[in-house]
């Protein structure tokens, strides 16, 4: 019996004990970019979810702790019914299968994003950030360095000269200075269409929040509006961004000196930090974790990086460098080397 078989048997035995149903069966519900997995079962005809979060790989304690904070602030997160943190098994509420992504279109986006932006403002205004890790320079650098290491060197097989690193480091410094200017708030860190669910009550349901930090006020806004999985017209995005800036001003979470242009630069470069990370992360998921499906989303994220970097003179050289290194290659194709 393999370790996977052992884990599957332990998960089913735990779920049957937790529910008191010796005949309970589990079916795959979903998986994410981590080592967690989710399994659906039925108790008295109602669906429940078993989260499998192996503690040695994905400590489930932060998920429980952050979920409590979000729930306490009025956000719709899955209720925990039974938890065994030592084994890494949790029996939680099933928020359903209707993620925002397949529901989004020109006819629904304003309503769905309206709900998501309401929830985001609530998070930023009311969720306690005490004790959360800080999204600091060291963390930002570690994330952005995934791009040269995994996209350029591993995925594309290119070598970087000293001059290339100068361009990269100058852009990274500009991004981090811009992030440092911003007020800090609760940061979900993965607030996008695959982690928001349409629910009958208190929509949206919010999931995948265990990586929360204290960070720049535009981070989750950029994660939502410049989503790695769906693209909206830039003029439309700028309208949402400005409307949110005004809401932050009304909530006294922004100083009145933060005008439209400054806030948009914050939004752009904070989103650029995230998308630089994602370019590397999606490649790492392929080569290190055996999840090649994420490569299909690279062109969308690359377009965000190139367009946003070129919108600002102090980051434009990074776009030129990345584009030159890619050349005419199809970045969706794995490197067989």
Q: Are residues 180 and 302 in the same domain?
A: yes
**CATH number of the domain residue 286 falls in:** 3.90.1200.10
Rounded CA-CA distance 121/124 in Å is 5
Rounded CA-CA distance 148/111 in Å is 38
Does 103 reside within a domain?
A: no
Q: Are residues 58 and 154 in the same domain?
A: no
Q: Are residues 298 and 243 in the same domain?
A: yes
CB-CB contact of 308 with 270 (8 Å): no
Q: Give the number of domains in the chain.
A: 2
Q: Are residues 287 and 153 in the same domain?
A: yes
Does 50 reside within a domain?
A: yes
Rounded CA-CA distance 228/84 in Å is 33
Does 333 reside within a domain?
A: no
Q: Are residues 52 and 171 in the same domain?
A: no
Does 121 reside within a domain?
A: yes
Query: What is the rounded average pLDDT of the residues 36-56?
Result: 94
pLDDT of residue 2: 73
- Sign for the CA dihedral angle at 329, 330, 333, 334 comes to positive
Does 337 reside within a domain?
A: no
Ranges 34-38, 46-50, 99-103, 332-336: which has the least confidence: 34-38
Query: What is the rounded average pLDDT of the residues 271-290?
Result: 97
Query: What is the rounded average pLDDT of the residues 43-71?
Result: 95
pLDDT tens digits for range 149-160: 999 999 999 999
Percent over 90 (pLDDT), the chain:
94
Query: What is the rounded average pLDDT of the residues 80-88?
Result: 96
pLDDT of residue 31: 65
Is the predicted pLDDT of residue 10 greater than 70, yes or no?
yes
Is the predicted pLDDT of residue 256 greater than 80, yes or no?
yes
Rounded CA-CA distance 130/127 in Å is 9
Virtual torsion, Cα 249, 252, 254, 257, nearest 10 deg: 70
Does 335 reside within a domain?
A: no
At 33, the pLDDT band (50, 70, 90 cuts) reads low
pLDDT of residue 336: 87
Q: Are residues 88 and 120 in the same domain?
A: no
Is the predicted pLDDT of residue 278 greater than 70, yes or no?
yes
Does 336 reside within a domain?
A: no
Q: Are residues 259 and 285 in the same domain?
A: yes
The dihedrals phi and psi of 257, each to the nearest 5 degrees, come to -75, -10
Give pTM, 2 decimals: 0.94
Query: What is the rounded average pLDDT of the residues 225-250?
Result: 98
At 120, the pLDDT band (50, 70, 90 cuts) reads very high
Q: Are residues 132 and 40 in the same domain?
A: no
Q: Average pLDDT of the chain? A: 96
Domain membership of residue 9 as a residue range: 3-93
Does 129 reside within a domain?
A: yes
Is the predicted pLDDT of residue 1 greater than 70, yes or no?
no
Q: Are residues 50 and 113 in the same domain?
A: no
pLDDT tens digits for range 170-208: 999 999 999 999 999 999 999 999 999 999 988 999 999
> Quick one: tokens of 57?
């790989």
**Would you mind telling me the total number of residues written for the chain in this entry?**
337
């Amino acid at each position: 019996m393999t370790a996977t078989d052992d884990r599957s048997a332990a998960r089913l035995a735990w779920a049957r004990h937790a529910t008191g149903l010796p005949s309970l069966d589990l079916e795959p519900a979903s998986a994410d970019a981590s080592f967690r997995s989710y399994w659906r079962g039925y108790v008295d005809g109602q669906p429940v979810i078993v989260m499998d979060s192996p503690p040695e790989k994905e400590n489930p304690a932060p998920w429980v702790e952050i979920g409590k904070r979000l729930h306490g602030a009025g956000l719709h997160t899955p209720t925990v019914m039974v938890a065994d943190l030592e084994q890494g098994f949790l029996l939680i509420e099933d928020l359903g299968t209707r993620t925002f992504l397949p529901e989004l279109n020109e006819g629904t986006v304003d309503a769905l994003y309206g709900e998501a932006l309401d929830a985001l403002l609530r998070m930023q205004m009311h969720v306690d950030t005490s004790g959360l890790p800080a999204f600091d320079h060291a963390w930002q650098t570690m994330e952005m360095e995934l791009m040269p290491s995994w996209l350029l060197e591993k995925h594309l097989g290119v070598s970087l000269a000293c001059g290339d690193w100068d361009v990269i480091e100058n852009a990274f410094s500009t991004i981090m200075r811009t992030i440092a200017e911003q007020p800090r708030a609760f940061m979900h860190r993965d607030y996008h269409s695959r982690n928001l669910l349409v629910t009958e009550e208190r929509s949206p349901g919010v999931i995948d929040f265990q990586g929360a930090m204290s960070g720049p006020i535009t981070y989750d806004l950029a994660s939502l509006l410049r989503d790695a999985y769906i693209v909206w017209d830039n003029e439309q995005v700028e309208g949402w961004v400005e409307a949110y800036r005004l809401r932050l001003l009304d909530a006294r979470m922004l100083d009145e000196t933060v005008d439209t242009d400054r806030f948009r630069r914050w939004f752009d470069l904070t989103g650029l930090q995230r998308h630089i990370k994602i370019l590397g992360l999606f490649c790492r998921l392929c080569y290190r974790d055996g999840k090649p499906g994420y490569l299909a989303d690279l062109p969308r994220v690359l377009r965000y990086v190139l367009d946003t970097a070129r919108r600002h003179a102090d980051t434009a050289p990074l776009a030129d460098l990345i584009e030159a290194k890619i050349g005419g290659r199809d970045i969706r194709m794995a490197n067989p080397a």
